Amino acid sequence: MGQRSGCQGRSKTLELTLSETMNTEADVQNNEEEAKEPKAKEQRITSVFGVADLKNGAIGLYNVGQTCCLNSVLQVFLMNIHFTGILRRITVPPHAAQQSKNVPYQMLLLLEEMQCGKRKAVSPINLAWCLSGYRVELFVQHDAAQLFLTVWNLIKRQMKKPELVEELSDLYTICVQEHLTCQKCSFETKRNSSMLTLPLPVLDSNSHMLKTLEDCLQYFFQPEELTDHNMCFCEQCERKTPFLQSMKLVHLPQTLTIHLKRFCFKKSAYILKLSHSLPFPQDLDFNAVLTENQCQADDSEKAAWQYELFAVVAHSGSTSCGHYCTYIRSLTECKWYCFNDSEVCQVSWDDVKCTYGHSNLHWGETAYLLIYMKKHPQ
Ligand code: ZN
């Protein structure tokens, strides 16, 4: 698991995140059904859908073929009222054949079933089958970070309405600016990029463990010298020279997804899970973590960089044999829940803190995705 999201180097991570995103988009574009589908009719679900969010606590999802990873990712989507607010306004595909292949529509049906509130858990089998048509196979242990990107891109591609696509992008997209400066002539290039997750290494360049989430963020935005075999070609010097690479934070979204890169390659194909303790706060202020130099944003943008923790997707077990569950703070009740497939129980913040990890507990639970929400939406 976690193969492509495994390496610890920062410089490569951004490209990886983006190319993964693009690959997924390309997959969807190639889907024939997508191309054949007639112009969407303005059909909307109004009756039973979306009367209220999951107010009556929380509903589990049955494991229907190693779907603990999918279930965890789905709960993070469906417990987010900002996301479900968009999902409810999708156009319903006109034909049954299209409906069964439409990821956002199948998600909406699942949400409706969960909202009926009659059962402690419901089955995500129709959505799981739908996703299996897009190479998200059943009976395979997926990587939660990769699965989040895949599902997100499928939703975006299949939503059709441009205004919803824009809202979905706004809700999740992080904007950064990459700077590359030649150390010989000071020639500088800038490039704007967007990401769906902040892929944070949990080790520094000397393979030392970073101690807190704030340290990981600080390290991620620290300038990096590109020397020796990492040198870049400078247009002005007309040869390969040492460069300084830095990344500045431009914009943070309402729903911010942080990916802790706990899976790393060691010795050929062997993937190691890093389970050391890495505390993360409930309240996170990016202005207190990053320096002025690490930001490229105006005061009103920065004023909104106050976050509180919404969800933790946690992994336990080894890289080859593991299990996912999710801790979510209900936005309507302000209570923490643990979603472990069909089992859902209320938990305390101390229980959530157990996902910080522990060096001596390699099979223990560790946070893998952290989802933060803006305290004061703009
Ligand atoms: Zn130069």
How much is the pLDDT for 37?
39
Q: What is the pLDDT of residue 57?
A: 59
Tokens representing 313 are 């997707």
| 306-317 and 366-374 beta bridge pairing | antiparallel
Residue 266 is predicted with a pLDDT of 66
Q: What is the CATH number of domain 52-374?
A: 3.90.70.10
CB 282 within 8 A of CB 349: yes
**How many angstroms separate the alpha carbon of residue 225 from the centre of ligand 1?**
14
Cα 217 to ligand 1 centre (Å): 29
From 234, 264, 323, 338, the catalytic residue: 323
- In the residue annotation, 68 being an active-site residue is answered as yes
CB atoms closer than 10 angstroms to residue 50: 17
* CA of 242 relative to ligand 1 center, distance in Å: 8
Determine which one of 68, 182, 216, 325 is catalytic: 68
Return the structure tokens found at 350. 């101390």
Q: At 246, list the tokens.
A: 């830095």
Closest CA to 151 of 106, 88, 115, 96: 106
Query: What's the half-sphere exposure (Cβ side, CA atoms, 13 Å) at 24?
Result: 22
- The rounded Å distance from CA 188 to ligand 1 centre is 8
Predicted confidence at residue 268, as pLDDT, reads: 60
> How would you classify residue 284: left for phi > 0, otherwise alpha for psi between -120 and 50, otherwise beta?
beta
Rounded-to-integer distance, Cα 83 and Cα 328, Å: 14
pLDDT digits (tens, 9 = 90+) for 195-236: 999 999 999 988 899 999 999 999 999 999 999 999 999 999
Q: What is the mean pLDDT of each run of 10 residues along the chain (378 residues)?
A: 42 39 36 38 38 61 93 96 96 94 97 87 96 91 94 96 97 97 95 96 91 96 94 95 96 97 74 88 97 94 96 89 93 91 95 90 88 88
DSSP string, 136-194: --TTS---HHHHHHHHHHHHHHH---HHHHHHHHHHH-EEEEEEEEETTT--EEEEEEE
- The structural domains of the chain, with segments of one domain joined by +, span 52-374
CA of 278 relative to ligand 1 center, distance in Å? 39
Give the distance (Å) from ligand 1 centre to CA of residue 52. 59
pLDDT in tens, 144-190: 999 999 999 999 999 989 999 999 999 999 999 999 999 999 999 99
Output the CA 194–ligand 1 centroid distance in Å. Answer: 27
Give whole-number Cα distances, 140 to 73, 128, 334, 365, 367, in Å.
15, 12, 33, 20, 21
- Condensed to tens digits (0 to 9), the pLDDT of residues 292-311 reads 999 999 999 999 999 999 99
Cα of 181 vs centre of ligand 1, distance in Å, is: 8
Question: Looking at residue 98, what is its pLDDT?
Answer: 95
Taking the centre of ligand 1 as the mean of its atom positions, its distance from the CA of residue 230, in whole angstroms, is 15
**Which pLDDT belongs to residue 65?**
85
- Cα distance between residue 189 and residue 283, in whole Å: 35
Query: What percentage of the chain carries pLDDT values higher than 90?
Result: 71
Please provide the DSSP assignment of 35-64 as one string: HHPPSPP-----SSTTSS-S-SS--EE--S
Distance CA 209, CA 132 (A): 37
Give me the helices (H) in the chain, please. Answer: 10-29, 32-36, 68-78, 81-87, 96-100, 103-115, 125-132, 144-158, 162-172, 213-220, 286-289, 299-303, 349-353
pTM across the whole model: 0.85
Cα gap 295→279, rounded to integer Å: 24
CA of 9 to the centre of ligand 1 (A): 24
